[in-house]
Structure 1
Amino acid sequence: MMSSSEMREKCGVFGVFNHPLAADLTYYGLHALQHRGQESAGIVASDGERFHFHKALGLVTHVFTRDILDRLRGTMAIGHVRYGSAGESGGQNSQPLVFKYRAGDLAVAHNGSLVNAAYERELLHQQGSIFQTATDTEVIAHLLARSAKQHFSEAAPEVLKKIQGSFALLMMTEKQLFVALDRHGLRPLSLGKLGDAIVVASETCALNAVDATYWRDVEPGEWLLIDEDGIQTGRFAEAEKKSLCSFELVYFARADSKIDGKSVLAVRKELGRTLARERAADADMVVAVPESSVPAALGYAEQLGIPYELGLIKNPYVGRTFIEPTQDLRELAVRLKLSAVREVIEGKRIVLVDDSIVRGTTSKRIVGLLREAGAKEVHVRISSPMVKDPCYYGIDMADKEELLANRWAEEEAMGASIGADSLAFLSERGMSDVLNIGLSEGSHHCLACFNGQYPTQLY
C-alpha cells in the first residue's frame, strides 16, 4: 500500500470500437482501472460525425452521471483515468485531450511518459506551437498536426517514430481508432472482443468488467488502426527486448488481472514465498499492508507455516493525504486510512509484509500504528528489492536523493529509521526468478528503479 507520499502509476486507458453503448462500456472499464488514477477521469465518444466528451477532476463515479453518459453518443469511445503530482492544478491536464486539426477532430489518451518530451516540446515551441497543458500527451498531438503526411492513417505511425519512452496510446478521429504500444512494452495494453466490438484496456481486469473476451496483448512497437474497413496492423519500430515495468506485477496492476499472460495474484504470492525462503522471521503472525501486499503476505505465511491475520484494516473512503495543509492533519489522515486491530496485534511478534519502500514515511507511520496497538515486535519484509533510482516511464516517484535506500544503505539502519525491529528486502535475483517464469524468449522486465539500468536513452 503506497500513499500519495510514495509511488503511483499515473494513468490507465480504455477504448471501444463498434458498440452502441461505447461510452457506457468505457465508464465501466475506467471504473475497473480506477486504481491506476484517482485524480481525474474523461471519456470521448464519436457518433461518426462529431465528438461528444466530458472530463473532470474526481473519481469515475463522481465525474459521470447517467445524464452525462446519455449525452456521450456514439459507437466508438476512449477513456482515461489519471493521477497528478502534488501541487499540480490538474484540471487542464485531464485526458483524453481533444483537438481540432486539418483532418478533423482528434482525441488522445496516453499512459506512460516520454523521455524526449521536453526536447520535442522546445522544438515545437520554436516552430510556433502553443501548448495548453503540461502533459507529454499534447506533444504527440502537435507532432501529428505538423506531420507532412496528409492522412491520419499515415501520419499516426510516422509520429510514433519520433517519441521515446513509455506509452500505451489511444488516438481517435471521428471514424477511426488508433492503438499503439512503445517499442519496449514498458506499459501493459491488452485487446479484447465483445461480439463485433473491439475493446482495448490497460489491464485485463477492465476487459472482464465489460464481459469482453481477451484476444491478445499489443506487441512492443506495434500499432493498430481500426475502422469500418477492419483492422490494419503495422510496426513503427522493430521488436526489441520487451521490458515490461516490474512494478506492474509487484504493485500497480489489480490482482485479478493477467499481465504478460501471467496471473498477477499468483506472481505476488510467489514473490511472498520467495521472500520467506530468503528472509524468514521468527514471529507469531504475518500481517499485510492492505491491499496490494495481501497476496505476498499470504505467500510468506504459507511458506513459513505461520498464521496470516487481518491486523491492519484500510478505510476505502479516505482520500489522498498529501493535500492536508499541516503535518498534524496529514498524520490524522493516515490514521483514518489505516487502523490496527489491537485484539489481533497486542502482545504478538508481527511480520509486516509490504510491496516496497520508497521514502519510508508511510512505513514508519504503519510500524508506529502496530506499536501503539501493542505489538511486541515488528519485523518488516518487502516483496521487492530496495528502490534506489527514480522512474522516467510514467511512475510518480521521489527524486533519487529522497529515496530511503539512498539515505540508509544498510537494511539494519533503514529498519531502525522506520522503527522496525528488523527490515529485509527480496533480492533482485529472487524477484527476477519469479517474474521470468513463463516469459517469452528475448523478453525481460524493467528493473531500473532497483538497479539503475534503464532500457532507453533518457535525454
Structure 2
Amino acid sequence: MSVELEDIHEECGLFGVWGHPDASRLTYFGLHALQHRGQEGAGIVSNENGKLTGHRGLGLLTKVFSDEREIARLRGDRAIGHVRYATSGSTGVDNIQPFLFRFHDGDIALCHNGNLTNCVSLRTALEDEGAIFHSNSDTEVLMHLIRRSDKPTFMEKLKSALMAVHGGFAYLLMTEHAMIGALDPNGFRPLSLGRMTNGAYVLASETCALDTVGAELVRNIRPGEIVVIDDDGYRITRYTDDTQLAICSMEFIYFARPDSNIYGINVHSARKRMGARLAHEQPVEADMVIGVPNSSLSAASGYAEASGLPNEMGLIKNQYVARTFIQPTQELREQGVRMKLSAVRGVVKGKRIIVIDDSIVRGTTSKRIVRLLREAGASEVHMRISSPPLRYPCFYGIDISTTRELIAATKSAEEIREYIGADSLGFLSLDGLIDSIGLHENAPYGGLCVAYFNGDYPTALDDYEQEFLASLGKPDRARLMTYARERSIYHDNEFASDPTTTPAPTVTPSPAHA
C-alpha cells in the first residue's frame, strides 16, 4: 500500500508555536517533519504584535517557501502552519490553509485536520442566511459559526461553534492575542502540546515535529478539549464532557511517522507488535521476510523476529519519483509504479518470500508487487497484511470515500489472493490490531476507531448517513444497526426502510475535506 498509486491519504498536518523569536522558520521545520501528512499544499501565518501575515501555495513545503524572502516576511514570535492533501474538486490555492480572516475587531487565522460529517447541512444553512464562502473546504464553516454566534466572548463563541460541527477535527487558530487548539469529542486526529527550552509552546499533529524543533512533550490534547496559549502560558478548558476516545487506528498502521508517540504509544513499536502478532496468526514456510517501503518496514521487522526468518531488503523505493496518479494513461501509471518500486533480484531470486504490507486498498499495487517479485525470480510470494481488510469508507478525514474503491468490500481473502497472484494471503485480525497497539483506554476497541474494518462508526454520519445506510446489503445493515443501537447513534426510524442488497455501496462525500 506504500506505493502511491493506491495510497490512502490523510488530509493534513498542523504545527504552531507561541513565544519563539523566529517562529515562522520554526514552523517551517515543524511542517517539514509533518510533510508525510500532506504534500499538495502548505501555508504559514505569523503574528507580530497582533498583526497577522500569511503565505500559502500549492506543492511541497520546499516549493511553497522556495524563496527565503517569503519566510523572512513572516515576522513575529508566533506562527501556525498547515500541510494538506487536496481532494477531488478542491485542488485550488483557495483551499490551502491556514485561512486568514480579517475582521473589524481583529484578524484570525484557522487551519484544520479532519472532516466534518455535517458540513453540507451547515454550509447550506449558512449560505441561506447570507454567508459567502471563499473555498469549498469544510474548515471555513467553523469561522462562519463563530462570527454568527450571539455569545458574549470569543471563547464562548468558539465553544458553541465546536458543539455545532460534527465529525473528525483538530483545529488550530491564531488570534491577535492567543494560539488555540481544539479536538473533536472522539479525538480522531492526534494533537500534542510541547514546550521548548526557551519557554515557547508548540502544538503539533505528531510528536515527531516536537522532536524536530527540540520541544518536550507536555501533554496530549484529549477529546473535547481546548488548549489556549498566550503570553501567560497555557490553559486547558473543555467545550463538552460527552467524549469518548476513538483515535484513528490508521494513524498507528500507516499515517504517523515511526518516531512519533500517540498517547504514549510509540508508532514503530506498535507496528512491530502488529508484525509479530501477524506472524503468529498467519504463519507460512518461507526463506525470508521483506517489507514494502516505507510504512511497512516496522511490521516486517516484527514478523521476521517472531518467525525466526531473516528480514531482507527485497524491495527498493525510489523517493524521487513524481506521484503516479498524475500520469494520463494506464500504461504510464504502470511504468510509474516500476520507477517507484523495484525488486532486488540478487536477494529474492529462487527464494520463498513473505511480503509484509500495511494494508490493501484496491489491490492494484499488491498485484504489481507480486508480479515484480516473480519477474525478479522469487519462487513463492506470500502476502501478509499488518491490518484487517479495509471494507468501509472513512468519514472523518481519510480519502477512502467509497466502499466501491475497496477490494475487500466485494472479495473474500481467497478471491483477493487470486486477483493479486500471491501464493497465499493473510490479514491481521481486528483483536490482533487492537492488542498490538495497546492503548487500553476505557472505550470501545481500546480507544481506537476501527470503522474501516468493521463498519462500527463512533458517531452518527450526518450528511453521509442516509446514502450509506441505504446502500448496505442485508447482513451489513443488520450488523451496523446493532452497533448503532448499542451506541444510541441512530434512531430506529432511520433503519425502517427495507435494505438494498447492493454488495458494494458507493458513498460520495462532498469535496469538503480539510
Q: Deviations over 1:97-120 (max 9, x none)?
A: 111234321111100111111110
Aligned to 2:28: 27
Q: Deviations over 1:256-304 (max 9, x none)?
A: 0001111111100000000000001111111111000000001001111
Matches of 1:339 and 1:18 in 2, distance apart? 46
Matches of 1:181 and 1:82 in 2, distance apart? 18
Aligned to 1:233: 236
Q: Given the superposition, is the C-alpha separation of residues 7 and 319 from structure 1 closer, same or farther in structure 2, using an over 3 Å criterion?
A: same
Aligned to 1:169: 171
Q: More displaced, 360-369 or 98-107? A: 98-107
Aligned to 2:481: none
SS at match of 1:234: strand
Identity %: 52
Q: Which of the pair is proportionally richer in helix? A: 2
Q: How far does residue 228 in structure 1 lie from its aligned partner after superposition? A: 2.6
8 Å Cα contact 1:2-1:8 kept in structure 2: no
Name the amino acid aligned to 2:330.
Q
8 Å Cα contact 1:102-1:145 kept in structure 2: no
Name the amino acid aligned to 2:154.
F
Aligned to 2:57: 56
Paired residues for 1:374-413 under 5 Å: 374-408=377-411, 410-413=412-415
SS at match of 1:395: coil
Matches of 2:237 and 2:188 in 1, distance apart? 19
Q: Which of the pair is proportionally richer in strand? A: 1
Alignment TM-score, normalising by the size of structure 2:
0.87
Equivalent in 345, 350, 361 of residue 348 of structure 2: 345
SS at match of 2:326: coil
8 Å Cα contact 1:6-1:398 kept in structure 2: no
Equivalent in 190, 193, 201 of residue 191 of structure 1: 193
- Count of residues paired in the alignment: 457
Name the amino acid aligned to 1:457.
A
Equivalent in 321, 324, 334 of residue 321 of structure 1: 324
Matches of 1:145 and 1:222 in 2, distance apart? 21
Alignment TM-score, normalising by the size of structure 1:
0.97
Aligned to 1:216: 219
8 Å Cα contact 1:6-1:359 kept in structure 2: no
Name the amino acid aligned to 2:303.
Y
Matches of 1:163 and 1:205 in 2, distance apart? 29
SS at match of 1:322: helix
8 Å Cα contact 2:110-2:172 kept in structure 1: yes
Matches of 1:344 and 1:449 in 2, distance apart? 35
Matches of 2:89 and 2:147 in 1, distance apart? 30
Q: More displaced, 353-362 or 234-243? A: 234-243
Matches of 2:369 and 2:93 in 1, distance apart? 32
Q: Given the superposition, is the C-alpha separation of residues 154 and 241 from structure 1 closer, same or farther in structure 2, using an over 3 Å criterion?
A: closer
8 Å Cα contact 2:50-2:175 kept in structure 1: no
8 Å Cα contact 2:3-2:340 kept in structure 1: no
**Unpaired runs of at least 5, structure 1:** none
- Whether 1:68 and 2:66 are equivalent positions in the alignment is no
Equivalent in 272, 276, 292 of residue 273 of structure 1: 276
Matches of 1:86 and 1:113 in 2, distance apart? 14
Matches of 1:6 and 1:406 in 2, distance apart? 17
SS at match of 1:15: strand
Matches of 1:378 and 1:291 in 2, distance apart? 19
Matches of 1:43 and 1:71 in 2, distance apart? 11
8 Å Cα contact 1:192-1:214 kept in structure 2: yes
Matches of 1:181 and 1:4 in 2, distance apart? 31
Q: Given the superposition, is the C-alpha separation of residues 201 and 253 from structure 1 closer, same or farther in structure 2, using an over 3 Å criterion?
A: same
The RMSD of aligned alpha carbons is: 1.3
Aligned to 2:133: 131
8 Å Cα contact 1:101-1:145 kept in structure 2: no
Q: How far does residue 89 in structure 1 lie from its aligned partner after superposition? A: 2.6
Q: How far does residue 85 in structure 1 lie from its aligned partner after superposition? A: 2.3
8 Å Cα contact 1:86-1:322 kept in structure 2: no
Matches of 2:258 and 2:213 in 1, distance apart? 17
Q: More displaced, 292-301 or 82-91? A: 82-91
Aligned to 2:205: 202
Equivalent in 415, 418, 424 of residue 417 of structure 2: 415
Matches of 1:21 and 1:274 in 2, distance apart? 45
Matches of 1:2 and 1:260 in 2, distance apart? 28
